[in-house]
Structure 1
Amino acid sequence: MAVTYIVYHVLRVFVLVFILLDVCSASFSMAVTSSSTTDTVLIVVDQSGQGDYKTIQDAINAVASNNSELIYIWIKPGTYREKIVVPADKPFITLSGTEASNTIITWNDGGDIFNSPTLSVMASDFVARYLTIQNTFGMSGKAIALRVAGDRAALYGCRILSYQDTLLDDSGRHYYYNCYIEGATDFICGNAASLFESCHLHSLATTFGTITAQHRNSPFENTGFIFVGCKITGMGDGTVLGRPWGSCSRVIFAHTFMSNVISPEGWRGWDDPSKERSKRVGWSRELSHDESAPFLNKSMIGGRSWLRPTPTHFKKHLPRPIEDGGN
């Protein structure tokens, strides 16, 4: 296993590319998904009763299985105390607030990483916009705020909050833009192929903190976490960029500002002394333009074939309320 750390400067902007256990070079597969040209179905969730549903889960439940239409669930401001699942047979759903600061999905659960998430996304072609997704379980153990296990998922302007294992970026190809992700231990973990662009990562750890725990176990897996144009802040000075959950873990940081919260060694092993390094300076070198280019755009996740714009035309074509059985 090879560990590579790369640091360079461009136009006085601090740029860091950090490759964690980059065992081999592998290209991310491309998927071709035709975008719909039809109007999007609008469903409104409002706790006051002025919408189509009072809870987010009820709105999701109302979507037909094996759905093929674009569904836009607009969530009016409020704090929604729900444990939510977007099932695998309900693709093409968007959950959108107006501002993350006033549209909050919250739950309090811990222990198992697959059962504790506040929001679990199992479906493909999912989008979330302007939401706060949080797990308030605290410092007592694993507590997932968001699990993303469907392919082709995108999140914009969301706040994802917990302490340990905040974001289980489980599997599939994902895109995170302008999101705020907060935690202390392995707070971005999993084995997805994901691009994080212009995101803010904040460590709550005062002494020992780890941002990522990527779970790639084979050089033939086209997975990894790529952070481009991000910012890292924190409360202490002992946080590292990551530790290898898998034997072939791959994590890349580029064009990223790092405050002094990041410890000089950069990363730590997973209770394996052979993976420990005292300083990353010895592995530093300057990347050429050609070397860095493949990591700095959406081609890594095939995003140009499936990322879709915000809909501008809606149609009111609602399924019947779930208590009517759709009849």
Structure 2
Amino acid sequence: MDMSTAILVRVDQAGNGDFKRIQDAIDAVPSNNSQLYFIWVKPGTYREKIVVPADKPFITLSGTQASDTIITWSDSGEIFDSATFTVLASDFVGRYLTIQNTFGTAGKAVALRVSGDRAAFYGCRILSYQDTLLDDAGKHYYSNCYIEGATDFIFGNAASLYERCHLHSLSTGNGSITAQHRDSESENTGFTFLGGKITGVGAAFLGRPWGTYSRVVYAFTYMSSVIVPQGWDDWQDPTKHRCYGPGADTSKRVQWSHRLSQEEAAPFLTKDMIGGRGWLRPAPTKFKRPSPTNIASVTDINN
């Protein structure tokens, strides 16, 4: 596949693109396509509940900056159903988008669910309160993203690297940033937070183990005083690297917390942890317009 060239599809609420709705643009990508599709979303607030189906790989969805390209919905209920934006396809890229669930503080309200393999997000804002980001399954990469929530707001069982991301806790006392769901020692999953920062409005735990073998690594991360001294919550189940800032003081950490040696930490500190060198792709440099043979329902454009 030519990774330098993509088919360009434009979304513009004002009607100056190929589609007015993001979901319509995604639906127009042929099933099982073998070409890159670059869906360029013009600034605006898109009130849509979006799904990228499993049979539509190699899609990039891009705004110009996250602050003015907003995808929003308000829903609650089961974690797999409430998401504003759901990615089931492999090889998806999201760029410069705000993805939010505005349901509020009363229940589970996922903003982004990522269940496809080899997904990457750059410069995105992901916002909710409880269960903001369902980092469900597959190998994922998040770069320079802002992720906000209060309770288990990054959770799931993916193998994910969060590089230079800003985590902002809305918790006022007992919320956890992460709830990682690794159930077996043989599973090569877990979350690594590398070179980012943690801020918040009250107090928060670094995480709690949703799975028996839950694995979360913070390395070279600035931790503000929002992080409680004990650091971690064991979810009332006792069976279950160098960072800095007032929240990184480990002198009062729970006894079962483990500080990794350089040798132990090394496998988690590069993109090799997610096999990223083999699938992370640069942004395309050349674009071509869709033809009737490589976009579905062309007659519906702008309807």
Aligned counterpart in structure 1 of residue 136 of structure 2, from 155, 159, 170: 170
CA apart distance, 1:294:
1.6
* One-letter amino acid of the structure 1 residue matched with residue 231 of structure 2: G
Alignment partner of 1:114: what SS? coil
Aligned residue in 1 for 2:222: 257
Runs ≥4 residues deviating over 6 A = 283-286
Aligned counterpart in structure 2 of residue 192 of structure 1, from 158, 179, 185: 158
Aligned residue in 1 for 2:246: none
Aligned counterpart in structure 2 of residue 296 of structure 1, from 242, 249, 269: 269
Aligned residue in 1 for 2:253: 280
| % identical equivalent positions | 69
CA deviations over 1:106-147 (Å, ceiling 9, x no partner) = 000001101100000000000000000000000010000000
Q: Count the aligned residue pairs.
A: 290
Aligned counterpart in structure 2 of residue 206 of structure 1, from 172, 186, 206: 172
CA contact (8 A) 1:181 1:201 kept: yes
Aligned residue in 2 for 1:312: 285
With CA pairs under 8 Å and 6+ residues apart, which has the higher RCO, 1 or 2? 1
Residue 89 (structure 2) pairs with residue 123 (structure 1): yes
CA deviations over 1:214-250 (Å, ceiling 9, x no partner) = 001011111000000010000012x001000011100
Residue 65 (structure 2) pairs with residue 99 (structure 1): yes
Residue 188 (structure 2) pairs with residue 222 (structure 1): yes
Aligned residue in 2 for 1:266: 231
* One-letter amino acid of the structure 1 residue matched with residue 225 of structure 2: N
For 2:284 and 2:5, how far apart are their aligned partners in 1? Answer: 8
Residues 244/103 of structure 1: CA separation in 2 closer, same or farther (3 Å cut): same
Aligned residue in 1 for 2:2: 36
Q: TM-score normalized by structure 2? A: 0.91
For 2:236 and 2:10, how far apart are their aligned partners in 1? Answer: 48
CA contact (8 A) 2:4 2:284 kept: no
CA apart distance, 1:272:
2.4
Residues 201/37 of structure 1: CA separation in 2 closer, same or farther (3 Å cut): closer
Aligned counterpart in structure 1 of residue 12 of structure 2, from 43, 46, 51: 46
Aligned residue in 2 for 1:183: 149
CA contact (8 A) 1:43 1:318 kept: no
Aligned residue in 1 for 2:117: 151
Q: TM-score normalized by structure 1? A: 0.84
For 1:137 and 1:37, how far apart are their aligned partners in 2? Answer: 38
CA contact (8 A) 1:58 1:322 kept: no
Alignment partner of 1:59: what SS? helix
RMSD: 2.0
Query: Please, which runs of 5 or more residues in structure 1 have no aligned partner?
Result: 1-34
Query: Please, which runs of 5 or more residues in structure 2 have no aligned partner?
Result: 241-250
CA contact (8 A) 1:298 1:304 kept: yes
Residue 211 (structure 2) pairs with residue 243 (structure 1): no
Alignment partner of 2:38: what SS? strand
* One-letter amino acid of the structure 2 residue matched with residue 163 of structure 1: Y
Aligned residue in 2 for 1:7: none
